Amino acid sequence: MAAVTMRLPVPRKPAVVNAPRGPEKHLVAPGDTITTDTGYMRGHGTYVEDDKLIASVAGVVERVNKLICVRALNTRYNGEVGDVVVGRITEVQQKRWKVETYSRLDSVLLLSSINLPGGELRRRSIEDELAMRDCLQEGDLISAEVQSVFTDGALSLHTRSLKYGKLSQGVLIQVSPSLVKRQKTHFHDLPCGASVILGNNGYIWIYPTSEQRDEETGGFITNLEPVSMSDREVISRVRNCIVALVTHKLMLFDTSILYCYEASLPHQIKDILKPEVMEQIVLETQHRLLDLEG
Amino acid sequence: MSERRATLRRLSCSNGASHCSRLLEGTAASRERRKRKGLSAVRREEAGSMAAVVLSEPEKLYIVHGVQEDLRVDGRGCEDYRCAEVETDVVSNTSGSARVKLGNTDILVGVKAEMGTPKIEKPDEGYLEFCVDCSANATPEFEGRGGEELGTEITSTFYTVFSSENSVDLKSLCINPREHCWVLYVDVLLLVCGGNLFDAISIAVKAALFNTRIPKVRVLEDEEGSKEIELSDDPYDCIRLNVENVPLIVTLSKIGYRHVVDATLEEEACSLASLLVSVTSKGALTSIKKVGRGSLDPESIFEMMELPQYVHMGRGWYWS
């Protein structure tokens, strides 16, 4: 039967647990004066007006010796070499693809940076150029690593390892890049039955764990078999848990997602998105994470 | 009709690539078109009037298979709505206003009541004027004149929905037949586009009309016969509209072989055809409209039309 819930808006209060605070962070809003001392060099996110250093973005002040910069919390993805990103192909150009990674400029995936299907290593020829659209089309999702950063800030990606490549069936969620914790590995096989790729650019990809672990296909063969019902339920639950964590501004990493999943098990999958259930699950996750730390 | 049913059964039994290709045949055709034309021309054509997201083929397949098994991406069933929030009286300088948040979609509606002349063909009734503004905050595609097509589509749909005589009591809006009447200007502002626009806008319009306060006026007649309109001094002395019969729109999107209500942007990208049904709280259908490039079987249309009545009766309690 159809289920419709309507409610009046309630004032939202952040579900915060009294966590032991680290060193006090200097938070600023655009227009706030950071310092009136003229001895500092100004970095990103600041400008000088009337001998005062003023912040131009909302974020945390970071000071390295004489350099003051403001790191914004809600910003587009700024790529670093070695980051794992999940991106969507927007254009197919002559010897490269343009990939959308929620950064200021579209990232570039050169034809020479991908593994050709079949796995052979050879010089890319004209036939490869003409067959580019058979490999990756507009709208396809890929997981890749940042190889280098161009002078204008655009990222150059590569999928030269067998764990990167085209992504097949699954669910994509877009979150703010600052909520994804930097870790050693961004590919996680959660024990609950789904696998997740936490892209540094804020694109999270959830997909069913593939049974063959030894057969690394290199990712250009897409699996079009229907996903089983149990896998679907796990994927939907993980997706809703991630949305709950993001709504309450918690950092995303494999342990927090797992704890949130376990806290959500008593509820139905579609109930997780209700505000009161979301709050309860996130509070429980925060408690468990604090217990883990100390 | 029986041949069509047999074809459907055959298609639903077959597995593998042919099944996928049938379900996604819209996208395969579009790939051919894309190869022949340039990308930008096709993208403009495909995006059409709705703000759409681009999805890869396996993503669409995942969504379509999920809908077949009644488990959508966010765990809802095919007949479940997202959590909705309705707030009235948000804009102070209007006669009535409402803000609706349906999942991601955010709609703001303001109603202003002004004096005007009745239409010639309906001299003893007031009327409603709709205006939909797709703000560039919703999507960068709406920048400049990009949102005009979507805006005119929504406006014309609402004129059709409210064209039935019983939806709003227009005779109560009349002050002086043939001379003065109340004109309700309903302005809709799309703040965030998160799928299922028509449903959210219809809820917001109904809430704003419910919230509208029209000042009470008296008509004084002089000896010479000239009429003067007097506004009452008390600002709280006003008439409220009866919105019991105002219809709500239920959008049914056809994905694969089943239909879903309250589609998200990703699900809208997978659906080829949708049916917009406007239904009143008593279960009466006032208008039906089909949108989208695909086709709908007449049998499935009858099946889809049974659902909106249940949905509206569930939403009916809020207005009492």
Chain B CB within 8 Å of residue A91 CB? yes
Chain A CB within 8 Å of residue B59 CB? yes
Do B274 and B310 form a contact (C-beta atoms < 8 A)? no
Residues in chain A within 8 Å Cβ distance of B73: 171, 236, 239
**Residue whose C-alpha is closest to residue A261's, from A276, A245, A250:** A245
At residue B26, the 3 state secondary structure works out as helix
- Contact state of A233 with B39 under an 8 Å Cβ cutoff: no
At residue A186, the 3 state secondary structure works out as coil
Q: Mutate which of B62, B68, B277, B319 to test chain A, going by most A C-beta atoms within 10 A?
A: B62
Bridge-partner residues for A47, per DSSP?
A54
d(CA B190, CA B109): 9
**pLDDT higher than 70, residue A127:** yes
- Contact state of A270 with B79 under an 8 Å Cβ cutoff: no
- pTM for this prediction: 0.84
d(CA A217, CA A152): 34
Chain A CB within 8 Å of residue B75 CB? yes
Backbone φ and ψ for A168, nearest 5 degrees, come out as -100, -130
Element (H, E) at B39: helix B39-47
Chain B CB within 8 Å of residue A141 CB? yes
More confident call, A1 vs A197: A197
Q: What is the largest CA-CA distance in chain A?
A: 68
d(CA B60, CA B159): 34
- Contact state of B87 with A167 under an 8 Å Cβ cutoff: no
Nearest by CB to B315, from A6, A227, A236: name it.
A6
Nearest by CB to A141, from B59, B82, B101: name it.
B59
Bridge-partner residues for B291, per DSSP?
B274
Q: From residue A88, how far is each of A246, B53, B265 by CA, in Å?
A: 21, 11, 16
Q: Mutate which of B22, B59, B80, B202 to test chain A, going by most A C-beta atoms within 10 A?
A: B59
What is the CA A19 to chain-centroid distance, rounded?
A: 25
pLDDT in tens, chain B (320 residues): 444 444 444 443 333 334 444 444 444 444 544 444 444 433 443 434 455 788 999 999 999 999 999 999 999 998 889 989 999 999 989 999 999 999 889 999 999 999 888 888 888 888 899 999 988 888 877 888 888 888 999 999 999 988 887 888 888 888 888 888 899 999 999 999 888 999 999 999 999 999 998 888 888 877 776 677 777 777 777 888 888 889 999 999 999 888 899 999 999 999 989 999 998 888 888 888 998 888 888 888 887 777 777 666 556 544 43
Nearest by CB to A227, from B31, B55, B62: name it.
B62
d(CA A152, CA A285): 41
**Which tokens in the block code for residue B299?**
């049998």
Place of tokens 């579900």: A15
Chain B CB within 8 Å of residue A104 CB? no
